């Protein structure tokens, strides 16, 4: 029988991930933190709601956390009623957010002293991937612990890769996000420039998606810009956080990463325009305002 899984952070990404675990037969326990609606929705699908975080940790040998920042993960692990205090030796804690690798190593050491293993397993694929169970999951940690949790990962993702030891998953995710967010920053610059030069926006998106500079994100994100759909799947402020973490990692090996810095500048400007809670495609507004144009479909 599958081990009971505790799920901390059933938000926009976490709730559909936990729902996929339930659909694949995993017993899931969550608890109400701020907003009760996601936990109650999971309860309607068969999840159990614990009375507290400590109670969840006491009954679940494997705990997954899908949280936006290292600070929140550290509080879950080290805070009152957290994993170090309330978790059981022999258990596993999995950080599925995009966290600071140095923090991941510190937490793994603290947990290890209590006989609790840790995996870092950040995800990529967006809300759609979380709903459809097609996420890509990069995992860092001991091979035998990865093997134990792998069936749960495969219930949530299509591609599950064990990248190496502790923090290897988080390092891989940061490198992935450099590519992804630099591409988004470039698209956000190119489309308004093309419109300012007199090109037709939908035709330009079509041309870029078919050209030598094409990436898999251009059709979908280009269409979202054309439709003026900035509903957050990946928020501007969290993307900016990831780029700052990527710069920190590069600086550890004395690399001043120029492309990462340029992308981070675009997201810094977007935040200065009050776009924190909008999707990353909203960075197009930075260059639209500078050029006095709007990238819109017919």
Q: Fold identical between 5-165 and 172-291?
A: no
The answer for 123, left when phi > 0, alpha when psi is -120 to 50, beta otherwise, is: beta
Write down the CATH superfamily of domain 5-165.
Answer: NAD(P)-binding Rossmann-like Domain (3.40.50.720)
Determine how many CB atoms are found less than 10 A away from the CB of residue 86: 15
**100, 162, 170, 173: the active-site residue:** 173
CA 167 – CA 148 distance, rounded (Å) = 18
- pLDDT tens digits, 171-214: 999 999 999 999 999 999 999 999 999 999 999 999 999 999 98
Which class for 284: exposed (0-12), middle (13-18), buried (19 or more C-beta within 10 A)? buried
Q: What is the pLDDT of residues 114-162, one digit of tens each?
A: 999 999 999 999 999 999 999 999 999 999 999 999 999 999 999 999 9
> Does the domain at residues 172-291 carry the CATH identifier 3.40.640.10?
no
Q: Quick one: average pLDDT of 86-108? A: 97
Q: Residue 173 catalytic?
A: yes
Domain boundaries, the chain: 5-165, 172-291
Q: CA–CA separation, 89 vs 101, rounded Å? A: 23
In three-state secondary structure terms, 198 is coil
Q: In this predicted structure, what is the pLDDT of residue 298?
A: 80
Backbone angles phi, psi at 3, to 5 degrees: -70, 145
- β-sheet bridge partners, residue 225: none
Task: Let me know: does 135 contact 142? Beta carbons within 8 Å.
Answer: no
Q: Residues near 70 by Cβ (< 8 Å), separated by ≥ 6?
A: 97, 99, 100, 103, 104
Which neighbouring-strand residues pair with 5? 28, 62
């Amino acid at each position: 029988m599958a081990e009971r899984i505790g799920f901390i952070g059933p938000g926009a990404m976490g709730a559909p991930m936990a729902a996929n675990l339930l659909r694949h037969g995993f017993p899931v326990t969550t608890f109400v933190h701020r907003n009760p609606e996601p936990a109650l929705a999971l309860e309607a699908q068969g999840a159990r709601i614990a009375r507290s975080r400590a109670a969840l940790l006491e009954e679940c040998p494997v705990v997954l956390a899908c949280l936006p920042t290292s600070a929140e993960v550290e509080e879950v692990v080290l805070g009152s009623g957290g994993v170090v205090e309330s978790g059981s030796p022999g258990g596993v804690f999995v950080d599925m957010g995009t966290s600071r690798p140095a923090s991941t190593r510190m937490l793994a050491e603290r947990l290890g002293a209590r006989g609790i293993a840790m995996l870092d397993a950040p995800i990529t694929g967006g809300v759609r991937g979380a709903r459809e169970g097609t996420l890509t999951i990069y995992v860092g940690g001991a091979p035998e612990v990865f093997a134990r949790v792998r069936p749960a990962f495969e219930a949530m993702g299509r591609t599950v890769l064990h990248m190496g030891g502790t923090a290897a998953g988080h390092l891989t995710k940061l490198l992935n996000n450099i590519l992804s967010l630099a591409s988004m920053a470039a698209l956000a610059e190119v489309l308004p420039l093309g419109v300012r030069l007199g090109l037709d926006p939908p035709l330009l998106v079509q041309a870029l998606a078919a050209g030598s500079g094409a990436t898999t994100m251009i059709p979908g994100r280009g269409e979202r810009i054309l439709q003026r759909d900035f509903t957050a799947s990946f928020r501007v402020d969290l993307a900016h956080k990831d780029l700052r973490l990527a710069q920190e990692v590069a600086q550890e090996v004395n690399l001043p990463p120029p492309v990462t810095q340029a992308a981070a500048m675009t997201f810094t400007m977007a935040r200065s325009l009050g776009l924190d809670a909008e999707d990353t495609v909203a960075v197009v507004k930075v260059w639209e305002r500078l050029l006095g144009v709007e990238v819109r479909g017919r």
